[in-house]
A and B are shown apart, each in its own frame.
Chain A
Amino acid sequence: MSLLQVKGLTTSFHTKEGTVKAVEKVSFSLEKGEMLGLIGESGCGKSTLGLSLLRLIEEPGEIAAGEVTINGVDVIKLNPEAMRKVRWNTISLIPQSAMSALNPTAPIGKQILEAIELHKPRIKRDDAVKKVKELLEWVGIDGGRWLHYPHEFSGGMKQRVAIAMALACDPEIVISDESTTGLDVLTQAQVIHLIKRLQKELGLSIIVISHDLAMVTAICDRIAVMYAGHLVEIGPTRKILDNPLHPYTQGLLASNICLDSSGTCSSIPGSVPRLIDAPPGCHFHPRCERGKDICKASLPPLKSLAAADHQVACFAYKEGF
């Protein structure tokens, strides 16, 4: 059985204009020690999916349907108190922007310490502090600085503190939500290297949410592509790169600029639809060159084609299309 199994997950936001399904009928799984990349344009529901796994969706949003099974337990059905204990113990988060994700009025070490002491109430203060210092050293920050405040660190260091914080309770799954966005290239490389070490040295399962295609393809074992709230393609990185099936994935890969290539760079015409008035059927059909009538009428299911581990949601691979 997979460590994490997501089935038919739908997250809706009830706005004044109507109900928006930011994530719709998403299913995938994550194995122990695996790194899964979740890519897509801004506003396609990647971060909402990540937060849904932690059940951190707030009013006016709600998880409308689906299952999120971690180690055989459907966490959607847990009561709030039980869910509180799953957070950080089993599944933790490296946030989008570590600049603002640390409490400015508390020392960084204490913010890590409070997570440890909360989830391991019997731990001695000295042992917990020792663990905080070890975690900081592990991400390359002097453990002696554990009582320093967030503003005394640089952006890259804060991001590393956030990674140390995510490890506080030895979780099994870590969600990295755009955690390299807004950093300079060298700092990005350090953070990416660190995330890779989480997998290699600690054996963690990681979901990397990003719109940086090059980064995701470089470090992830598998890739999931999202478009307008739907999962449109998922498969091993190699297969997605060599043989992208969904027209959106193909467009995404073609728009990626390579310095060593002939210099051609294309883009996908149009833009992501506002989900409040998303087109019926396949949400991608207005931008798709191969769109047919059936694409406007109904939603293509996610199906395996040649290989069982490579799935795509597109009618183009249906007989008689």
Chain B
Amino acid sequence: MSRFLAQKIAQYMLVIFITITINFFLPRLMPGNPLIFLAGEDVAFLTEAEKASILENYGLDKPLGEQYTIYLKNIVTGDFGYSYQKKMPIADIIKDRLPWTLLLTGSALLLSSLLGVIFGAAAAWRRGTKTDAALLIKFMFFNSMPSFWVGMILVALFGATLRWFPIFGAQKAWMPLSGWPYYADILHHLVLPLTTLVLISIPSTFMIMRYSMLNVLGEDYILMAKAKGLRENAIKYRYAVRNALLPVVTIFMLQLGYMFSGATVIETVFAYPGLGRLMFEAVVGRDYPVLQASFLIITVTVVLGNLLADLLYPLVDPKVRR
């Protein structure tokens, strides 16, 4: 087991190393002068001496090999560079944004997976009935809606018209709170973006769970469970749901990695201060160092998510245990 573990971790470390290397070379392969990326359109007004000083400042006058070593060293020490647009170290910006993104995407992933599994199992168990058809139609509907549109409808209805929930931000910026009111305020701000994200994420889990459960219900061991005289609930949960969960768990694990990249569209619609919105702002403001750092975080966390999936999957599927 420990040898298997070491092997797996080594494999994934190699993948991460390659990712970092590509992330280093990609912007350097782009056509044009790096000064445009670093100084923006102001570059036209700079003197040669100023240009040289900027390049030196960023270490871009050094040979490529040395730049690469410095880049690796910076990443290991948590230095992702400096945001040209926000005039702040990128590591600090990410430290600010990450908790909000994890709060939003993490709770959305948990909720949508849980609800998708419950509804998917219920629909499959009542295959062909009105309940099944109603659930299927409902989730197909949400599946075909663009996420920003669902978000805007919720904003218009519950935010602007009914005024039940705030429509932007993650907390009241103008009013420092503490204790319970502080958490209540955060939850209050979370409701609309979270609902939107859950609504558009349930359908995929629902579909997979329903299909998987339908397959399992046709298996011989379900018939055997009935022949043994087991009660309906035991057959449903211990046999059907337990086995139908396997593909859902795989999908869940893979999505874990994507949690860190945030939900760009939803965060933008609700002006939620997460990593997704940071990326949107970086694109609009041509803040290349921030984009580069974001790409790095996304790829590394997706790879780590896969590693986690590899390590945890044996817990649910005895067939892949060693």
A: which residues have CB within 8 A of B? Answer: 54, 56, 84-89, 92-93, 95-97, 100-106, 114-115, 118-119, 149, 151, 165
Contacts and interface: CB of A to CB of B under 8 A. Distances in A.
17 contacts: A84-B231, A85-B229, A87-B228, A92-B227, A93-B224, A93-B227, A95-B227, A103-B224, A103-B238, A104-B318, A104-B319, A114-B230, A114-B234, A118-B229, A118-B231, A119-B229, A151-B319
B219 interface: yes
A56 B220 CA distance: 12
B225 interface: yes
A87 B319 CA distance: 30
Contact of A54 (B219, B225, B227, B318): B227
A101 B229 contact: no
A100 B231 contact: no
Interface in B266-322: 316-319
Contacts of A114: 228, 230, 234, 238
A88 B227 contact: yes
Interface size class of B (residues with CB under 8 A): 20 to 34
Contact of B220 (A54, A86, A96, A105): A96
A101 B243 contact: no
B319 A149 contact: yes
A118 B225 CA distance: 12
A310 to B, nearest CB: 32
Given A97-B220, A149-B318, A149-B319, A105 B229 contact: no
Nearest to B320: A151
Nearest to A148: B318
B220 A101 contact: yes
A255 B226 CA distance: 37
A84 B230 CA distance: 7
A216 B231 CA distance: 34
B239 interface: yes
Q: Looking at chain B's contact residues, is the secondary structure mostly helix, strand, loop, or mixed?
A: helix
Given A84-B229, A149-B319, 4 more contacts: A95-B223, A102-B224, A118-B230, A119-B229
A100 B229 contact: no
Interface of B: 219-221, 223-231, 234, 238-239, 242-243, 246, 316-319
Contacts of A115: 228-230
Contacts of A106: 238, 242
Nearest to B223: A56
Contacts of B230: 84, 114-115, 118
B221 A100 contact: yes
Contacts of B227: 54, 56, 87-88, 92-93, 95
Nearest to A103: B221
B243 A105 contact: yes
A88 B229 contact: yes
A15 to B, nearest CB: 14
A158 to B, nearest CB: 11
A84 B227 CA distance: 8
Contacts of B229: 84-89, 115, 118-119
B243 A56 contact: no
> What 10 pairs across the A-B complex have the smallest Cβ distances?
A87-B229, A100-B220, A149-B318, A101-B220, A84-B229, A103-B221, A93-B227, A115-B228, A101-B224, A88-B229
Contacts of B221: 100-104
Contacts of A96: 220
Nearest to A81: B231
